[in-house]
Structure 1
Amino acid sequence: MDHVSDQLLHADIYDLKRGYVEDPSLETYTCLICGHQTEKGVIYPDNGLLYDAEKSMRHHINHKHDSMLDYLLSLDKKLTGLTDLQRKLIGLFNEGLSDQDIVAELDGGSTSTIRNHRFMLREKMKQAKLFLAVMELMEEGGRPSSRPGSAAPPKTISSALPGKLGERLPILKEENEKILSKYFIEGLNGRLQSFPKQEKRRVVILRHIAADFEEGRMYTEKEVNQLLEARYADHVTLRRLLIEYGFLDRLPDGSEYWVKQPEGKGKGIKDMKNQRRKELVNEYMNTPRPMGVLQIRNKENGKIYVTSGMNLPGVINGQKAKLSSDFHVSPSLQKDWKELGEEAFAFEILEELKPDPQAANDLSQQKIYTEKVKKMEENWLEKLQPYGEKGYNRRPRGE
């Protein structure tokens, strides 16, 4: 994947598994993959169904990103520590395939080899749990002692950090000054010489730059860029990280930015922001997404792969992500994609189902549409027969 948010990299296991994090102070849920937000108290309509904030977020992750497992498996092996074969096997295990079916999918091996891979993955999970416990104990051991009679811990300035950053990254006053003097060698009002990779240093710099923005004022994206460009050439990275770390906030369409207020402050601006966000979210959620059947066609040999979904743009993005990450369920399609490259394939919509605008709030429509799309896919599979030499689909069992 091109970019992994810092929020995802520092999320706990519970949030990583479900794919989103809750901010109790703002009463929001934020997608760890793309930053999409929902707000408590808002009802989100989608394809005839109504969802509360948390269910809408789960629905977003399933339809926009397929699943958290798919997304995590698509990450670079340097992040997950999984080999290409392990990622592919985990995907096949998740589908519930038998060992014999997995051997057929991999075009080789034996069932005993597959069982051994299952065993090794479980051992890897046990090791990961113990390693996580060791690292957490190590970090806790490095904190100032809180035992009676011990010296008072050095003064920190973590209270100025948003959210729980102050708890996770306690920053000493002397440490803060040292970092700023190192990276702003022309003075604290000057330009940033370079942007560090170490998280604590990044947070110190971001907090300092965030002070350039006035509390209670709304900024356009152009104004934000101008302020950041005066500090550092890569203003896009600064803007993104100021949002991700909670120093700035913005509307979903990026039209307005502002300094993010601690809980209980800036109520007027927060109310205005919430109202505008609700309007934009409702506008998006009430816009039907195309659903139906599509094919991935190899331009060189004509072989096709047929699939379907309730959000065709999301399906296309998901298919490309799986192929680019080398863990697609079709080994033959994956092989050709790897050899020929993305430019050798066309993504073509075979049939589209448009929802009835008069039945937007009919809760029974979602199930009806799902069944219709499934039937459409079955018809196209029967018509095109994308199996063997003609295609990349797996032939249905029993045929």
Structure 2
Amino acid sequence: MVESVSDELLNADIHDLKRGYKEDSLLDTYTCLVCGYQTEKGIVYQEAGVFYEAEKSMRRHIQQQHHSMLDYLLSLDKKMTGLTDLQRKLIGYFHQGLTDHDIIAELDGGSTSTIRNHRFMLREKMKQAKLFLAVMELMEEGGKNAGRTASVPTKPSQSKLPGAPGISEDEREKIISKYFTAGPEGPLTSFPKQEKRRLAVLRHIAGDFEAGHTYTEHEVNQILEARFEDYVTLRRFLIEYGFLDRKPDGSQYWAKQPENQGKGKKNMKDQQRRKELVNEYMNTPRPMGVFQIRNKQSGKIYVTSSTNMPGAINGQKAKLASNYHVSPELQKDWKELGEDAFAFEILEELRPDPQSPNDLEQQRVYKEKVAQMEKAWLEKLQPYDEKGYNRRPRAK
């Protein structure tokens, strides 16, 4: 466990802490916050016959020498992070995207309610940390301004809150038109990788929820699925970025709408149109079945299934793009090789009955059929160890 860190790391801002290095615009250098390694702008660095510009080389250094900043920060002494050994383990598991049941298996005990409670407490700790940081920064600003007889007008800073990501109205409209090609009230064509665009898209979708109204998880899923097939990913990001909140048991959800949303006749028409889209989408059956993610270079595969394959494929891409995938090895290769090095291939498809979206019993039957199909393909392909990215089943 690391007990001491560099002064550069202790004095770094959140943005630099997350990426692991800082930029010096005067010296034109990038410096690793962990070990002090530097790269210089304008110089090309060669690694294994491949040339990288300075910042790309620094990112590769962080990955190769320190694996990830999350791993390094979790290795720090408790007195520096305030995290217990159990909390460090859980954060690592949450980052990998493990399900509650997988986490229980890794811990060799516990219950899903306990895991959910730990997740809730960590989020509460995060909120408290943000508030404490704001308080301390305001305190420092007050100290610096003490004794001044006159205030100097300053340029207002851009807000760091999720609802106001520091983009102009013109930029926002361009982003919305790019990702909602059928119009602002239509479906999301793809989930943005760039954070600024992601925030704009999430803020726009958050407008689908009425302020002051509570929703069940099923209602939230219906609203989001009309926007994007992988509604689970959308729901998670809306919660993580603070647009949606919920009770620890997931029984109720609610939203804090951005400014200028939820008012006027135009919004009433929008809400009605969105309800129509929800009903139309929910009454359209989606293809079900088993698919694989294949590494074109190594041939390794990851096999999974879904009763909504288009949504699941989008979800897998979103998780990989956001470093949330359940398979660490697949995530590592995706980051190194890029999306173009992988193929998404359907192994077996099940076409549902057109009436199945409204038949809960039929949906349960399909879910069981798809699970059996996945089991058969796992037994056939054995995508474990050197052959694949799936986690080998535990011996009963």
Common fold: TM-score over 0.5: no
TM-score of the pair, normalised by structure 2: 0.42
Q: Which has the higher contact order (CA 8 A, sep 6+)?
A: 1
TM-score of the pair, normalised by structure 1: 0.41
